[in-house]
Amino acid sequence: MTGGTRGPFRRWLSSPPRAHGEIIEDRTVSFLELFYDLAYVAVVTQVAHRLTEDISVRGVIEFAIVFSMIWIAWFNGSLYVELHGREDGRTRLLVFDQMGLLVLLAVFAEHAADTSGQPFAFAYAAFLALMTWHWYAVRRQDVTERPEYLAITAWYVGAMVVSSVAIAATAFFPIDVRLALWGVFSVAWIVGIQLAASAPRVGMSEAVVPTESLVERFGLFVIIVLGEVIFGVVEGLSVAPEADLKTLTTGSLALIVGFGIWWIYFDLVGRRLPKRDRGAISTWMLSHLPITMAIAAVGAGMVSLIEHAHDPTTPPATAWLLAGSTAVALLALILTERSIADSVRLAVVYRPMSIALAAGAGVALLAGWLAPAPWVLALLLVAILTALWFFAVAWMIRAGAWGDAVPDTREPEAAD
């Protein structure tokens, strides 16, 4: 390499991260970030597969804890690139390093709550340690460039250090104690993010600025977990004893449940910026944890639903998993819609929509309690989601806002 190219290449490979405040308003999600999300497809699939095999109260608790840890990892990695990443070699190496550790997490994720908990803990701690180092690099910049952010970065880096050590330590505890500590870790992070956003001085609300790329990143994770619904339908049809009309009908209705969730999310809150109010953006981000967790759980339940397509009633555990997860997603959407900027501009739409979502969650739980035949349960969930979507569309049309979240990409008409 000649002297004339060594300098620029070195800067490309080792340039510092973007400092706080260097927000790129018109940034688009890069191919690197899309590639990064593919690693989470593997991890989430393994976590959901465990729930598919053990639909029980303990199975749901294990799934919720491990999924929360995966979401927190995704949150850290994605938020770093959104706020501080560049189109350079340093960011690429960071993302690829993360992906290497995520592959290890995927290997151990399915049985993380029991037999492979120890290696999962070590791999997860290594991921956190990697991110700690890069968040610390941001803090070093803040010392000279943005001292007003030192308080929030000190809290964040400190939390990352403690988290890395604590998770590594859980590898040496018994299985049940380890799982409980992971649950404490997840809750602590959720509470910590909300407290950081509500800090009286400079907090997350100032550090994290709502941008279209940020909204797209969270929307893409919704797409990842919606893929679990498709995987669940495919696996259910593959292992079903008979591929007859009833089984195929049940599978088709199960697939439409996934379509319905997609329509509800992306037409109601997708591609809509969160408010800039203190605490609103953290509520918006955190509400995606129960939404994505519930969607992944729906996908896990589809396998059992289709396997029992010929049963006169849906197994109670499967019915509660599907109906309860749908209810959780709908209730969490209320938090999401209340934290978006359009909830003020389109209050006439979102106020009644909150009531409708709560009512839909109640009807879904009733369907789970009744546990009708699998195809009937799937049809009821489809009916609930369809009714909610039409309700939202009707109010948006009445308010003259239907389709306003979709960019107008039509060519301008020629002048007469």
**Is 410 part of a structural domain of the chain?**
no
**Is 346 part of a structural domain of the chain?**
yes
Sign of the dihedral defined by the CA atoms of residues 306, 299, 367, 270, in that order = negative
**Which parts of 240-279 fold into alpha helices (H)?**
245-268
Residues 236 and 339 in one domain: yes
Residues 221 and 200 in one domain: no
Residue 141 neighbours by CB distance under 10 Å: 18
The predicted pLDDT at position 411 comes to 41
What confidence tier does 4 reach under pLDDT thresholds 50, 70, 90?
Answer: low
Structure tokens at 174: 């018994």
Per the CB < 8 A criterion, the answer to whether 205 and 279 are in contact is yes
What confidence tier does 150 reach under pLDDT thresholds 50, 70, 90?
Answer: confident
What confidence tier does 410 reach under pLDDT thresholds 50, 70, 90?
Answer: very low
Residues 244 and 372 in one domain: yes
What confidence tier does 37 reach under pLDDT thresholds 50, 70, 90?
Answer: very high
Residue that wins the pLDDT comparison between 91 and 36: 36
Give the range of the structural domain holding residue 104, as residue numbers without chain letter. Answer: 30-207
Structure tokens at 109: 């994720």
Tell me if residue 393 falls in helix, strand or coil: helix
Q: How many domains does the chain have?
A: 2
Q: Choose one of 145, 180, 207: the last residue of a domain.
A: 207
Structure tokens at 251: 């599978």
Structure tokens at 362: 């109640």
Residue 48 neighbours by CB distance under 10 Å: 29
What confidence tier does 97 reach under pLDDT thresholds 50, 70, 90?
Answer: very high
**Is 404 part of a structural domain of the chain?**
no
Q: Choose one of 146, 173, 207: the last residue of a domain.
A: 207
Measured distance CA(310)–CA(305) in Å, rounded: 10
Residues 241 and 383 in one domain: yes
Q: Choose one of 191, 207, 223: the last residue of a domain.
A: 207
**Is 21 part of a structural domain of the chain?**
no
Residues 234 and 369 in one domain: yes
- Identify the burial level of 296 via C-beta atoms within 10 angstroms of its C-beta, where 0-12 means exposed, 13-18 middle and 19 or more buried: buried
Measured distance CA(97)–CA(127) in Å, rounded: 9
Structure tokens at 127: 């991921």
Give DSSP secondary structure letters for 130-196: HHHHHHHHHHHHHHHT-GGGHHHHHHHHHHHHHHHHHHHHHTTS-HHHHHHHHHHHHHHHHHHHHHH
**Is 415 part of a structural domain of the chain?**
no
Residues 174 and 315 in one domain: no
Q: What is the pLDDT of residues 173-188, one digit of tens each?
A: 999 999 999 999 999 9
**Is 101 part of a structural domain of the chain?**
yes
Residues 221 and 271 in one domain: yes
Residues 216 and 326 in one domain: yes
Residues 38 and 176 in one domain: yes
Q: What values do phi and psi take at 413, rounded to 5?
A: -70, 145
Measured distance CA(79)–CA(274) in Å, rounded: 15
**Is 405 part of a structural domain of the chain?**
no
Vertex 329 angle, CA 272 and 306, to 5°: 125
Residues 385 and 246 in one domain: yes
For the chain, give the mean pLDDT: 88
**Is 407 part of a structural domain of the chain?**
no
**CA torsion angle 334 338 340 342 (round to 10):** 110
Residue type, 188: A
Mean pLDDT of 113-123: 94
Residues 83 and 121 in one domain: yes
User: What is the residue whose two structure tokens read 């939390």?
Assistant: 159
Mean pLDDT of 388-408: 78
The number of CA neighbours under 13 Å toward the Cβ of 5 is 2
Measured distance CA(321)–CA(204) in Å, rounded: 34
Tell me if residue 291 falls in helix, strand or coil: helix
The number of CA neighbours under 13 Å toward the Cβ of 309 is 25
Residues 63 and 145 in one domain: yes
What confidence tier does 242 reach under pLDDT thresholds 50, 70, 90?
Answer: confident
Structure tokens at 396: 């948006």
The predicted pLDDT at position 407 comes to 44
